[in-house]
């Protein structure tokens, strides 16, 4: 416990203004996500852009996680455009359940991504945690794909990623980011039930 407190204090003292901004906008992004608000994307773009830079630095060597944040950046732009669709020709995208085909695609993205990230980390980096780093990134990629399509199940995959990420972040002495991930995990639980309730209301109104 003393080691954790000491590490947290060191993390606070060593936190750069860039990391502070990344944490702040990550918190805002997940709050907007829970509220089903399109501002999830511009806030997410700021946070992931900063984390892409920070995690790729030699001190942390979380290369898959850095690549994941770069992927988040691209998917945030795609999701922002996708969510913004409106009008008679392009109706607003509503929260919905994933179809069997979409779930199969999400699982494929997670498993194939895990394998690809692992091979790349083992052969082209000096990562000392390739299995966990690859798994976290692959499941998060899959969840982000479902989020962009406004599917309820995005929360499940993102929280699988968050659950595995927490001990890895503590191991890497990224205490603030680990605490942030725990916060995101808790918010994601509420987010899942909030989105599920919205879907049930839609289904009831159309029945």
pLDDT in tens, 31-69: 888 888 888 889 988 988 888 777 776 555 666 667 777
- The CA R_g of the chain, rounded to the nearest whole Å, is 17
Place of tokens 């590490």: 7
Q: For the residues 98-124, what does the mean pLDDT come to?
A: 93
pLDDT of residue 7: 57
Reduced to 3 states (helix: H, G, I; strand: E, B; else coil), residue 187 is helix
Residue 61 backbone class (left: φ over 0; alpha: ψ -120 to 50; beta: rest): left
Distances in Å between the alpha carbon of 160 and those of 65, 113, 143, 189, 202? 15, 15, 9, 11, 27
Residue 173 backbone class (left: φ over 0; alpha: ψ -120 to 50; beta: rest): left
Bigger pLDDT: 13 or 156? Answer: 156
pLDDT of residue 71: 78
Q: Work out the pLDDT band at 27, boundaries 50, 70, 90.
A: confident
Q: Work out the pLDDT band at 182, boundaries 50, 70, 90.
A: very high
pLDDT digits (tens, 9 = 90+) for 185-194: 998 899 999 9
pLDDT of residue 154: 94
Q: Work out the pLDDT band at 120, boundaries 50, 70, 90.
A: confident
Q: Lowest mean pLDDT of 22-31, 59-68, 134-143, 161-170, name the range.
A: 59-68
* Both structure tokens of 156: 């499940």
pLDDT of residue 177: 78
pLDDT of residue 170: 85
Residue 86 reports pLDDT greater than 70: no
């Amino acid at each position: 416990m003393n080691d954790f407190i000491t590490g947290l204090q060191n993390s606070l003292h060593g936190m750069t203004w860039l990391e502070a901004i990344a944490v702040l906008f990550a918190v805002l992004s997940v709050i907007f996500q829970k509220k089903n608000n399109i501002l999830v994307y511009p806030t997410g773009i700021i946070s992931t852009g900063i984390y892409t830079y920070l995690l790729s630095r030699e001190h942390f060597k979380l290369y898959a996680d850095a690549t994941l944040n770069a992927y988040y950046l691209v998917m945030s732009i795609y999701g922002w455009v996708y969510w913004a669709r409106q009008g008679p020709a392009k109706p607003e995208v509503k929260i919905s359940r994933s179809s069997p085909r979409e779930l199969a695609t999400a699982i494929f993205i997670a498993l194939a991504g895990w394998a690809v990230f692992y091979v790349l980390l083992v052969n082209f980096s000096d990562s000392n945690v390739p299995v966990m780093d690859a798994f976290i990134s692959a499941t998060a990629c899959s969840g982000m794909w479902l989020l962009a399509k406004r599917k309820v199940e995005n929360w499940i995959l993102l929280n699988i990623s968050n659950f595995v990420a927490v001990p890895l972040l503590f191991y890497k002495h990224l205490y603030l980011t680990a605490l942030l991930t725990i916060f995101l995990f808790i918010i994601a639980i509420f987010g899942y039930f909030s989105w599920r309730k919205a879907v049930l209301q839609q289904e009831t109104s159309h029945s």
